Each structure stands twice: as structure tokens, then as C-alpha cells.
Structure 1
Amino acid sequence: MCETTDTLSGPRADSDAGSGRLRAVLVALGLLVVGLGASIVVGIVFTVPLLLFGADVQSPTVFLLLAAVGQLAFLVVGLSYVGRYGGVTVRRPSRRDTGYLVGGLVAALIAATGLSVVVTVLGIGPSGSVFDDPITTAPWVALALAGLSIVLVAPAEELLFRGAIQGRLRKSFGPVGAVGGASVIFGSIHLLNYTGSIVGALSGVVIVTVGGAIFGTIYERTGNLLVPIGAHGGYNAVLLTVAFLAS
């Protein structure tokens, strides 16, 4: 009887591990779908009254407000998940945390710059982004987006994609698989941010995915969500400030 039990425990354990990984993937994708769905619904609820009252929904101010409410939806979904299941630590950064924050920020900027040069030389880079027209029309939008990135975008996206999604994947796939999976999911939501060919848009997604992997790695190294939040917010702020100066 003992030998029979040992023989059966292997396949059963493998089956349990497989179903656990499938559940983890489904939960991660479910969080993505819920986050995007909530963002779309909130955007519609916000836009319809503006249309009814004849407001200019293409104005830079409305663009900023729509960006903010969409991120608020991400924040609520992330808070709802981690509030129920936990697993996220936010604490005052230590000296070590600060080192990872600065290192992650610099690494993400170097990676983005290098990859942008590569895809441009190869002629496969995106032709533009959804932020180009608003910033061209009103350059101050870039600075407003930089501030919004620090106070809302980075906290909301890091809570959802690193805290909730990466945290859930970690339970079944370990830290390396969690970082990889969460980064791909994070990159995928930026597909519609780019204009031009699908190849160009995908090249932009690759750049974002690499940045996400860097943020995910420093999160795993520190266990403090404030670290990737700081690196992500700083990364966006630097790029948007450069866009302002270039406009």
C-alpha cells in the first residue's frame, strides 16, 4: 500500500501544480480584463455628459481627465484585489531600496533609449503615439502628464501589474516566471498607444515590456512596491519632460 501511494502522489502533484498554474494565468488575465473594462466604462460614463453639454472632448484638458479616470479604474481594481488577498508591502524605502529605485530608473531609461535607436535604425519603430497630438497642441500637457504619472499612473499600474498580477503569478511560477508574465501583460495594454503599422506598434510594446521587466525585477529584489512605483513614475516623468522640451 505504501508503494502504491508513493506512485500515485507524483502524477497527482503534477496535476495539482498544473491546475494551479492555469488558475494563476486565468486570474492574471482576468485582472487585466477587469482593469481594462473598468477603465473603458469609467471613460464612457465621464465622456457622455460632456457630449450632452457640448463640451470639446478633444481638448487637452479632457484628454488629461480621461487619462486620470482610466488610471483610477486600474487603481480601484488593484486595491480591491490586494485588499482581499494581500501580499503587497508598502514601506518607507531603505537605503538599499533607494539604490534599486535609482538603478531601475536608470536601467529603464537606458533600455528604452537603446531599443528606440535600434528599432528606428531598422525602420520598424512606431510612427507616433496617442500623446503626440495633445502635446503638440498644448506642450504643457506633457508636464501635466509627468505630474500625473508620479501621483497616479505609476501607483495605479504598479499596484495592478506588479502588486496584484505579478504577485499572483509568483505563487505558481516563482519570481522569474512572474516577472516575465506580468511584464508581457503590462506591455500588451500599451499596444493601442502607438500609431502606424502593427509592426511599429509591437516594437513599442517590446520597449514597454522590457521596462516592465526592470520594474518587476526591482520589486522582487526589494519586496517594496514603492520601489517600482518610484522608478516607473520617474521614468515617465523624464520622458515626458524631454517631450515638453522638444515641443
Structure 2
Amino acid sequence: MSDAASTLTEGVPEKYINRTSIVRTALVLTGVILVTVAAHISATLAVVSMVGSDTSDTLTFAAVTVGSELAFLLVGSIYLHFRSSFRLPVGLPIRQVYPILFVGLIGSFVTAFLSLAITDSIVPILEFSPGYMEYSGLGEVAGSGLVVGAVLSISVIGPVEEFFFRGVIQGRLREALGPIAAISIAGAVFALFHVYPVALLSPPPAVITHMSVYYTLMGAIFGWVYHRTDTLVAPAFVHGLFNGVVFSIPLWI
């Protein structure tokens, strides 16, 4: 079978083979993204329906978070099932890459700080939109919900989202386009899934634009960590720890 394939591609210019690979990758990932959006919405609605309106805010938040993350895990696992040869590195980071983890964490916090400064200071002054908290939903989480959010960030959100966005999306893109394009596009896909729920609330365009840039940059930081360390454990750690600190900050002040 491999000999037949080799015969068919023999003499075909490499640029045409590469174009075919790019088109195939684009089609596959478009399908994966669309299925994931549907699964994400369905899981969220199903969880909200199951927990009901009488459930505490903390339990509702935890249930919705776990349900939406399971959508990423399910679609990613199905993808890997049908593409068993796909490499998914999950080894523990060696000591030599610790500086990369540190740079990734610092880059995440600097990006978040600049985002908050823009959304809560500059943007309201210009009267483009309200502050960040109104649309992020973080303002609704308090008390025990913050603790639950921090725990879920490290144990569920970081590992699952990095498995999907870096392992599946960026990994597939890297095969066809190389690391730089893969990091950039996977970052944009990461932003898509964080922005589209907010877009359903019909916020001002400035909010959508700003959040898109912010989450794309965050996704690119996690993608860079994955590329430099070659293990999903590294971006999962950076992502989870960053989110965990963000959730726990209100408990310190």
C-alpha cells in the first residue's frame, strides 16, 4: 500500500503536496472546531439544566466549568482515536526547561496586567465599553467559588485546555505549517472559545476586539511554552497556575 502511495506521489512537485496537506489540515481542524463549539454549547446547556436554578452559585460555576472542559476532552479524545499515529508528548519537564516555565508565567501575568489596565482604566475613560469584570464573569465568583475556581484551574482547566488547544490544534497545525504559524493560529482558536460566549451577550465591538487580542496573546504564550519544552505538562502547568492565582487574588486582598 505504501509502495502504491509512493508511486502516485513520485514526480509530483513538493509544493503541491504541501498545499494538499495544508488544505486537508484546514478542513479537518475546521470540522474539529465546529464540532467542539456544538459540544461546548450543548454541554453548558445540559449542565445548567441539570443543576437547576436553586443550586448555589459555587456549585453551578463548578458544574458548568467541568461540563465545558469535558467537551474539549471528548472531542480531542475522539480525534486522537481516529489518528492513532499522532504524537502527544506528556513527559515531565526536565530541569533545563524550568526557565521557560518561569518566562511563560511572567509573560502571562504581564499580559493580564496590561489587559486589566486597558479595560478598567483606558477603555472606560474613552467610553468604549464598561470594565473587564462585567463581561468576564469573574465578578460573579466569590468566596468558596474562588477556591473552587483555583482548584479546577490546576486540576482540570489547565490540563484539558492545553491537551485540546496545544496538543490537538497546535500539534496538527505544526505538521502542515510549522511552529510559528501553528502557535499563532492555535492562539486565535483559543481566543475564539473564550470570546464567543461573551459575544452572545452583544457587548460593544471594543470588548470583542480587546478580548480577542488578549486571549490570542495568552494562547500564544502557552503555545510558545509547549513548543520550547515539547511536553504538554509544561503549558498545562503554566496555564493552570496562572488561572489559579487569578482566582485566588481576591482572597488575598
TM over 0.5, shorter chain? yes
Matches within 5 A, 1:28-107: 28-51=29-52, 55-56=53-54, 59-83=57-81, 84-107=84-107
| Cα distance change, pair 125–58 in 1 and its aligned pair in 2 (3 A) | farther
Q: Name 1:231's counterpart in structure 2.
A: 238
Contact (CA 8 Å) 1:129, 1:193: kept in 2 or not? no
- Output one character per residue of 1:13-45: Cα deviation in whole Å (capped at 9) or x when no partner: 323322211221222222222222222223333
Alpha-carbon distance in structure 1 between the residues aligned to 2:54 and 2:85: 41
Alpha-carbon distance in structure 1 between the residues aligned to 2:206 and 2:121: 14
Contact (CA 8 Å) 1:116, 1:207: kept in 2 or not? no
* Number of residue equivalences: 233
Alpha-carbon distance in structure 2 between the residues aligned to 1:188 and 1:126: 21
Q: Unaligned regions of 5+ residues in structure 1, if any?
A: 1-7
Alpha-carbon distance in structure 1 between the residues aligned to 2:137 and 2:20: 41
Contact (CA 8 Å) 2:195, 2:212: kept in 1 or not? yes
Residue 208 (1) aligns with residue 212 (2): no
| Cα distance change, pair 50–240 in 1 and its aligned pair in 2 (3 A) | closer
Q: Unaligned regions of 5+ residues in structure 2, if any?
A: 1-9
Residue 159 (1) aligns with residue 163 (2): yes
Matches within 5 A, 1:101-180: 101-123=101-123, 127=131, 128-135=134-141, 138-180=142-184
Alpha-carbon distance in structure 1 between the residues aligned to 2:147 and 2:66: 14
Shift of 1:50: 4.1
Alpha-carbon distance in structure 2 between the residues aligned to 1:82 and 1:125: 41
Counterpart code for 1:21: I
Counterpart code for 2:246: L
Give the match's secondary structure for 2:178: helix
Identical aligned pairs, as a percentage? 27
Shift of 1:153: 0.6
Shift of 1:144: 0.9
- Output one character per residue of 1:212-231: Cα deviation in whole Å (capped at 9) or x when no partner: 10110111111111000000
CA RMSD in angstroms, aligned pairs only: 2.4
Query: Which 4+ stretches in 1 moved above 6 angstroms?
Result: none
Shift of 1:240: 1.3
Q: Name 2:3's counterpart in structure 1.
A: none
Alpha-carbon distance in structure 2 between the residues aligned to 1:58 and 1:25: 42
Shift of 1:176: 0.4
